[in-house]
Structure 1
Amino acid sequence: MTEEVSAHYKRHRFPAEIIAHAVWLYYRFPLSLRDVEDLLAERGIDVSFQTVAEWATKFGLKFAHQLRRRSCGHFADKWHLDEMVVAINGEKYWLWRAVDANGYVLDTLLQGRRNKGAAFRLMRKLLKGQGVAPRVMVTDKLRSYAAAKAELMPGVEHRSHKGLNNRAENSHLPLRRRERRMMRFKSTRQCQRFVSTHSQVANLFHLHRKHLTAADHRQLRAHAISTWHEIAWSTAA
């Protein structure tokens, strides 16, 4: 490890390799914090699940920010928007999500409403993050999408049909598995922070296995892992 990287983690007892590996395990796979603790213990690394949680909180968003910067401009021009209900402390919230035609997550936004204003905020966030409007926008039949699009992107083609939006609905499934494994989100802040990081890590390892040969898959996976290491080593604490 270089002196520069060591300085980034200088206030931590464990080296960067272990911290980055723990954060990767937590966001890459449907594991609980105690699962990550056990996996590290099997390798002779004695660390508590509370410490893993602190690492995930401290470094997760930093890693996600670097990944987002690298992926900017690499998405398809067809956007699928959808929302899923999330229960937090007995209250109902809506997690608004947008994915492109290839299944990459464009952005996520947790909101307390399911109306035009909420759809407007998601689209405005998407336009700011992507820097360009899509060619086509696909949604279900919720009228809030059409109303918000008419103000922000009047020239964009809008296809509103539940059967056409399976791409967005299927993208909810990995997050639902994580939600069950975590025994639901504990707060709105935790939910937004987790999904923002989880989506970027999922994008990095989204390799389209069905259309790859074994050799191509191994090559792309090695590149994704190499990118993760580069991100983790270069992110300051």
Structure 2
Amino acid sequence: MLENGRLSGSINQIELGFVEREATPEFLMKLSIQLYLSGLSLSNTVRVCEIFGVQRARSTVHNWVHKADLQPEAGKNPDHVAVDETVIQLNDEKYWLYAAVDAETNELLHTALESTRNTMIAQQFLTEIGEKHDVSEAVFLIDGAQSLQAACHRGGYDFRYEKHGNRNAIERVFREIKRRTVCFSNCFSNASAETADDWIRSLSFAWNQLI
């Protein structure tokens, strides 16, 4: 069960600047977004709305999440950053999910969904991390991904190979993302890459509020 303070704190960080002519109370919209991102299904989320006397379609809640444009907070200063990549299935196509996690706090720092993987894409991902956070003194923890190792070398980042230990944080993140996809498998159904990318950033926001 979520602690009341942590739940209300994360709800207060959800901005609803996208709302136009929306009859749903703002608190209920924020609560619905938070409950869905915390693991409740869309069907059960709309049932919570019904408890408050508000009937909304599952697609409406999905649109709230998409339009809220949630993402991890910038400006972090991590000592160790675990970076990895994993395959995500979008309909019949495979995409690569890149993710960076603060190894001490388990917070997600940045994610990116790409149609392929290579050193250039990995280097761009590391650049994006540096634009959002102060990683000038950070040590990047890299698994066996050759493209990430090459990108760290080219970018002059301090890195080391680590398969377990502090890298367990990013493995937990990947497991949660895969658990939350359709049918609790590693597959998004009937979703565009842009929608999946937005959803993963929103999940990253919720993850950081609740860890």
Paired AA for residue 192 in structure 1: D
Measured after TM superposition, the shift of residue 142 of structure 1 is 1.5
CA distance in 2, matches of 1:7, 1:117: 35
Which of 42, 45, 53 lines up with 2:54 in the alignment?
45
- What letter matches 2:30 in structure 1? A
Q: Distance in 1 between matches of 2:141 and 2:16?
A: 46
**Distance of aligned partners of 1:148 and 1:14 in 2 relative to their CA distance in 1, 3 Å threshold:** same
Distance 1:201 1:114 in 2: 26
Q: CA deviation at 1:166?
A: 2.2
**Alignment partner for residue 205 of structure 2, among 182, 200, 215?**
200
Q: Deviations over 1:34-62 (max 9, x none)?
A: 22112221332212212212211212x1x
Q: How does 1:36-185 map to 2 (within 5 A)?
A: 36-59=45-68, 61=69, 64=70, 68-69=73-74, 72-73=75-76, 75-101=77-103, 102-154=105-157, 156=158, 158-164=159-165, 165-181=167-183, 184-185=187-188
In the alignment, the residues of structure 2 paired with residue 116 and residue 100 of structure 1 have an alpha-carbon distance, to the nearest angstrom, of 22
Cα distance change on mapping 1:23 and 1:127 into 2, 3 Å = same
- The equivalent of 1:11 in structure 2 is 21
Unaligned runs of 5+ in 2: 1-14
C-alpha separation between the residues in 2 aligned to 1:94 and 1:78? 22
Structure number with bigger Rg: 1
Is this contact kept in 2: 1:116–1:147, CA < 8 A?
Answer: yes
The share of aligned pairs that are identical, in percent, is 25
3-state DSSP of counterpart to 1:14: coil
Name the structure 1 match of 2:31: 21
Contact preservation (8 Å) 1:40, 1:47: yes
> Aligned to 1:162, what secondary structure does the other structure show?
coil
Classify 1:57/1:152 alpha carbon distance in 2 versus 1 (closer, same or farther; 3 Å).
Answer: same
Supply the distance in 1 between the matched residues of 2:121 and 2:27 (Cα, whole angstroms): 40
Q: Matched residue of 2:136: which SS?
A: coil
TM-score, with length taken from structure 2: 0.82
Assess if the C-alpha contact under 8 Å between 1:99 and 1:167 holds in 2: yes
1:20 Cα offset (Å): 1.1
Which amino acid counterpart does residue 94 of structure 2 have in structure 1? K
C-alpha change, 1:10 and 1:90, in structure 2 (3 Å) is closer
Specify every segment of 5 or more residues in structure 1 that has no aligned partner in the other structure, as ranges: 207-237
Please give the root-mean-square deviation of Cα atoms over the aligned residues, in Å: 2.3
Return the alpha-carbon distance in structure 2 between the equivalents of residues 116 and 106 of structure 1: 20
How many matched pairs?
192
Show CA shifts across 1:53-96 (max 9, x none): 2211212x1xx25x615xx23x4210000111101121111100
- Cα 1:36–1:182 change in 2 (3 A) is farther
**Aligned partner of residue 164 in structure 2, secondary structure:** helix
Q: Which residue of 2 aligns with 1:187?
A: 192
1:80 aligned counterpart, secondary structure = strand
1:32–1:182: 8 Å Cα contact kept in structure 2? Answer: no
Report the Cα distance in structure 1 between the residues aligned to 2:86 and 2:194, rounded to whole angstroms.
Answer: 17
Question: Any idea what the Cα deviations from partners look like across 1:82-120, whole Å, max 9, x if unmatched?
Answer: 111101121111100000112110100001222212211
